[in-house]
Amino acid sequence: MSIHPLAAVSPEAELGVGVTVAAFATIEAGVRLGDYCSVANGAVIKSGTRLGCHNEICEHAVLGGRPQHVAQPSDIGTLLIGDHNVFREGVTIHRALKSDSQTLVGSHNYLMAGAHLGHDACVGNSCILANNALLGGHVTVEDRAFVSGAVAVHQFCRIGRFAMVGGHARVVQDVPPFMLIDGQTGSVVGLNTVGLRRAGYSNDEIATLKAAYRVIYRRGLPWVEVLEALRVEFTTGLAAHLHTFLAEGRRGFVQERRGPPTPAATLRLRVAEDDKRRLRAKAG
């Protein structure tokens, strides 16, 4: 264990084997820090926070802050964090609002500079939150999701596994698993096929997901029939998770971005003969 003499570490904090704490870092009473964690200059880990092993807390990150809520009770919940996570500069994560609740962060996640998790958020495993991604209270992010820079996610929304949300998107409804969200419009623009292939999923599995995608967004079925079709037609593999996720929705779901009508209209430039001669003359 290595604790800089200018660090403020409470004697009531529990630190594991091989922990390093840099100058001006603060670890409050009641914190539990697992083995081989590193806490950089100016980082703050507040009471009610529990971390597993091999976590990296970078400069000026604040883990376990009190919830930003006007009706905040005096006795609030906790923040539980797994193993092998990276919290880059200025990351902020708040504890849960109620004493019997938890803000949860799994393992192998990477939160880039300025990312924020509100109270009662739940982030799975192997997720990436890019710079200044903002998750409101009670937001759920499933495993292997990617939230790009400056994305704002409304409270109580869910982001499904392997979904990728483009930069600057405003998310106010649930993002179904495996979907690719356009940052400009905040709409679905297809499957996150690149992420799925990088994770080792086969072309056959991706093709099955594409078939399920067409059920959801292309058949024009009423919502009850969409759920029933997913339940009956896709009983195994990745596509089966779509029914599970969609059946639990309460806020509605991000819709598909519609393309231009087919066949697409074409505008032709009609140039008078005199203008054509002048254009040819200018062109040499």
- Point out the residues that are catalytic: 119-120, 137
Q: What is the distance between the alpha carbons of residues 147 and 168, in angstroms, rounded to a whole number?
A: 10
- Residue 205's H or E segment, with its range, is helix 203-217
Identify the three-state secondary structure at position 229: helix
Length of the chain: 284
Pairing of strands 179-181, 188-191: antiparallel
Q: What is the distance between the alpha carbons of residues 122 and 134, in angstroms, rounded to a whole number?
A: 13
Q: What is the distance between the alpha carbons of residues 105 and 121, in angstroms, rounded to a whole number?
A: 8
Q: Are 173 and 253 contacting, i.e. CB atoms less than 8 angstroms apart? A: yes
Identify the three-state secondary structure at position 273: helix
Q: Are 84 and 53 contacting, i.e. CB atoms less than 8 angstroms apart? A: yes
Q: How far apart are the first and last CA of the chain?
A: 78
Q: What is the distance between the alpha carbons of residues 235 and 73, in angstroms, rounded to a whole number?
A: 44
